[in-house]
Amino acid sequence: GAPASEAEAYEHAEFDDIFHDGEVRVKPERMIFVNDGAQGTTFADIGVDPALCSALHECGFDEPISIQRGAFEPILKGIDVVMASQTGSGKTLAYLVPLLHDLLAAGTRQRK
């Protein structure tokens, strides 16, 4: 079925597929919509580093919202991700959590 009108999306198209003549344009076949509505999932449940989970908890972030859950794995895999959602919906954290997770993992690998 068609995605909800306010569905959050990530997309991994080539740069030229996204921007054309100054407008954002994404080929529909290269877009994946994230609108899972799952509740109760923690950052630990999606695989976030325990130290980062603790820091997120201290900042008041206990449960990732759908855009954060949906973006975590593709960003970790190095897929180019473009998210579209309302202001204040958690996009910045959706980008940062996987990057911070990766930095923590890299530090752990270097210490071994």
Domain boundaries, the chain: 8-111
The more confident residue out of 15 and 54 is: 54
Compute φ and ψ for 63, nearest 5 degrees: -125, 125
Closest CA to 6 of 30, 29, 37, 28: 37
Q: Output the average pLDDT for the chain.
A: 75
Domain 8-111 fold is Rossmann fold (3.40.50)
Confidence at 37, pLDDT banded by 50, 70, 90: low
- Give first-to-last CA distance, the chain, whole Å: 48
The pTM score is: 0.66
Phi-psi region of 100 (alpha: psi -120 to 50; beta: other; left: phi over 0): alpha
Pairing mode, if any, of strands 31-34 and 8-11?
antiparallel
Q: What are the helix (H) ranges across 14-58?
A: 15-18, 50-58
> Which element (helix H / strand E) includes 103?
helix 91-111
Mean pLDDT within 22-46: 67
Contact present, 11 and 28 (Cβ < 8 Å): no
pLDDT digits (tens, 9 = 90+) for 48-90: 999 999 999 999 999 998 889 888 888 888 877 888 788 898 9
Mean pLDDT within 83-112: 86
